[in-house]
Amino acid sequence: MLCAVNQSSPGVGPSQHAPVEAGLHARVLDHLGTAICSGGMAAGSVLSIDDLIDRYQVSRSVIREVLRVLASMGLIETRRRVGIMIQPAEVWSVFDPQVIRWRLASDGRMAQMRSITELRTAIEPHAAWLTAARIDDDEASELVGLAAKMWAAGKAGDEARFLNLDIEFHGRVLAASGNEMFAKLQLIVAEVLAGRHYHHLMPHYPDEQALQLHTDVAQAIQRRDGERAREAMVGIMEQGFAEMKSLWEQSSEPDGA
C-alpha cells in the first residue's frame, strides 16, 4: 500500500507538497494502469473514488487526476448512475507508450510483442526506403557511425549501451523518413525495445546477423539505395520475429496467431 501524505505536517508549505503529490500520482497511476492492462481489473468492473482513496491513502485530487489520465487513454469511462467503469481492450489507446509499457509488464506481453513487431515490419522497411531519399549527407554518415557503435556494444555484451544505440538507430530512421506519422512511432519502438531488454527477451550478445543488417541498412541509406535499405530492414524485423518465436513457443501464452 502507498504511504499517505500528511497534509498537516508542520513546516511543509504548498510548494513542498507538490513533489510528494506528483510522486504519489505516478505510483497510483502505474499501479492502476498495470492492474487494468493485465486483466487484474476486468472490463466492466466499476471503481469508486472513495474506495480508491481508502486503498491508496492519497488525496481526492490525486485520485481524480489519475482517473483523468486513465480516461484519456481509454482505459476507463465515467457513466452516470454507474460510476467509473473499466473499458475493454478494444477501446484502449494502444499506441500510447504508457499503455504499451503496462501491457508488456502483464502476462500478455508476448501478444503485445507480436502485435508491435508486426506493426514495425509493416512500417520500418518503408521508412528506411524513404530515408534513403530524404536524409542529408551528415545524418547518413552519423547513422553509419551509429551502426558501428552498435556492433561494438553488441560484441562487448554491453546491453545497456546497445539498447540505447538500438533505440536511437531506429528512431533516426523513422524521423529521417520525412513522414511525421512515422516519426511519431519512435516512442512505440523505444518502449518495445526497452521492454524486450527489461523482461529479458533479448539475447545477452546480439546475433551477428542482426548487427550486420543494421550496418547494411545504414550503408544502403548512405548510398541512397532505398531498395537495399528496405530489404535489410525487413531482415532486421524477420530476425526479431525469429528471436521471439522461440519465446512464444516456450510460453503457454497464446501468441495471437
Which contacts qualify for 16-21: CB closer than 8 Å, 24 or more apart?
Answer: 21/59, 21/61, 21/62
- Take residue 213 and report the three cell numbers written for it: 543488417
Q: Give just the sign of the alpha carbon dihedral 46, 51, 57, 61.
A: positive
Output the pLDDT for position 21: 60
CATH class of the domain whose range is 14-91? mainly alpha
Instruction: Parse the chain into domains and list their residue ranges.
Output: 14-91, 97-250
Output the pLDDT for position 246: 67
Output the pLDDT for position 20: 56
Give the 3-state secondary structure of residue 185.
coil
The CATH classification number of 97-250 equals 1.20.120.530
- 101-115 exposure pattern, b = at least 16 Cβ within 10 A, e = fewer: bbbbbbebbbbbbbb
Output the pLDDT for position 250: 60
Cell match 469508486: residue? 48
Fold match between domain 14-91 and domain 97-250:
no
- Take residue 161 and report the three cell numbers written for it: 549501451
**How do the pLDDT tens digits run along the chain, 257 residues long?**
333 333 333 333 333 344 556 688 999 999 999 999 999 999 999 999 999 999 999 999 999 999 999 999 999 999 888 889 999 999 999 999 999 999 999 888 888 888 998 999 999 999 999 999 999 999 999 999 999 999 999 999 999 999 999 999 999 999 999 999 999 999 999 999 998 888 877 777 888 999 999 999 999 999 999 999 999 999 999 888 777 776 656 654 444 43
- Residue 11 per-residue DSSP state: T
Global pTM value: 0.81
